[in-house]
Amino acid sequence: MLKFALRRTAQALLVFVIVTFLCYVALYQLGNPFASLGENRVLPPETQAILREKFKLDQPLLAQYLNYLGNLFTGDLGIDYDKRLPVVEMIAHTVPNTMRLAVLAVALQLVIGICAGVLAAVRQGSFTDALISVSAITLMSVPLIVTAAALRDTFNGTRVLGITLFPQLPRTIAVEVHWYDELLLPAFALALGGTAFIARMTRTTMLEVLESDYVRTARAKGLRPRTVLYKHALRNAVIPIANIAAIELGVLLGGAIIVETIFQYDGVGYLFARSLRALNAPLLMAIMSYMVVAFVVLIALLDILCAYLDPRLRID
């Protein structure tokens, strides 16, 4: 088991190095991060040379990248080009918001998706099964940007009994919005596609498990249908769903750029979108690096956990 864990850790490190190196080359070598300050304000060549020397971009490529890796692991990622604030502080401000959004979205996906999938499997061939299947396929086919924009335009500023359920967009500085007020609608929009996929996958795995030998044996023993369904069938059917949920959490923690931008949600994805419009290289590179870290670490931990639970997955 230790050998397998070390091998997966080495693979994760290799993926991290390759992806961050390619991102670094794309941002700092194929482009010029000091060409302008935005709004068509072009910097003189002398100023660009001074900035390149200040940010150690006048060194060989390998030295630049190794210097960046050292700064990445020490948390010293330099100063943002636009607001002149430490990059780490700007990211640290948005990470809790994205984590709340990602966790709530995954929770909604699991609860709604598993319940819908189990219901469709139990009532196979019925109108309920057809309705859930058609709805899931429809949601999976519609682009995320369309569903998010539709939800924003439909429920923007919705009030019930004098209580604002969803804040008005675009935001105004004078109106204070609590984090829990602006969280539910983006999380629901972000969860829709994954919910449909989990519902379809749960239905398929449940149908396979319900036809297995140990489920038939449990029924032959006279166990109640609910006990057979939840204690024996569902318990084994959710194993692949857990793998999907872990991968989905890694993707969402990296930043749900589309949803956060549409809802002006102050998370990592919205920060990335604003940085991309301004071509803010230090902030872009830092966000992409931590996206890779979040995804690679979760996938590696998931592989190690699965190998621990099922020794057949280990490669000698």
pLDDT of residue 270: 86
Q: Do 167 and 18 fall within a single domain?
A: no
Q: Strand locations in 120-228, DSSP E?
A: 159-160, 163-164
Here the tokens at position 72 are 């990445």
pLDDT by residue (tens digit) across 2-31?
A: 777 777 778 888 888 888 888 878 777 666
pLDDT by residue (tens digit) across 244-295?
A: 777 777 667 655 788 888 888 888 888 888 888 777 777 888 888 888 887 7
Distance CA 102, CA 60 (A): 39
The dihedral region occupied by 142, where left means phi > 0, alpha psi between -120 and 50, and beta the remainder, is beta
What integer is the mean pLDDT of 35-64? 66
What integer is the mean pLDDT of 195-222? 75
Here the tokens at position 77 are 């990622």
Domain end position, chosen among 250, 266, 282: 266
Q: What range does the domain containing 27 cover? A: 1-88+270-316
Q: Do 254 and 126 fall within a single domain?
A: yes
In the chain, how many domains are there? Answer: 2
pLDDT by residue (tens digit) across 126-173?
A: 888 889 888 888 888 888 888 888 888 888 777 666 666 676 676 665
Q: Do 7 and 134 fall within a single domain?
A: no
Q: Do 275 and 168 fall within a single domain?
A: no
Distance CA 18, CA 31 (A): 19
**pLDDT, greater one: 207 or 195:** 195
Q: Do 258 and 296 fall within a single domain?
A: no
**Residue carrying structure tokens 């099922």:** 310
Q: Do 190 and 289 fall within a single domain?
A: no
Task: Say if residue 237's pLDDT is above 70.
Answer: no
Specify the range with the lowest mean pLDDT, choosing from 57-66, 111-120, 222-231, 265-274. 222-231
CATH number, domain with residue 155: 1.10.3720.10
Q: Do 187 and 147 fall within a single domain?
A: yes
Taking the model in full, what pTM does it have?
Answer: 0.72
Task: Give me the chain's average pLDDT, please.
Answer: 75
What integer is the mean pLDDT of 61-75? 79
Q: Do 122 and 204 fall within a single domain?
A: yes
Distance CA 91, CA 78 (A): 12
Q: Interhelix angle for 234-253 vs 87-122, to 10°?
A: 150
pLDDT of residue 184: 82
Q: Do 77 and 203 fall within a single domain?
A: no
Q: Is 76 exposed, middle or buried (0-12, 13-18, 19+ CB in 10 A)?
A: exposed
User: Which amino acid would we find at residue 171?
Assistant: R
Distance CA 93, CA 266 (A): 9
Q: Do 106 and 181 fall within a single domain?
A: yes
Q: Do 61 and 186 fall within a single domain?
A: no
Question: Of 147, 260, 177, 174, nearest to 166 (Cα)?
Answer: 177
Angle value at C-alpha 199, between 198 and 202, nearest 5 degrees: 80
Distance CA 186, CA 313 (A): 37
Contact 296, 247 (CB under 8 A): no
Residue length, the chain? 316
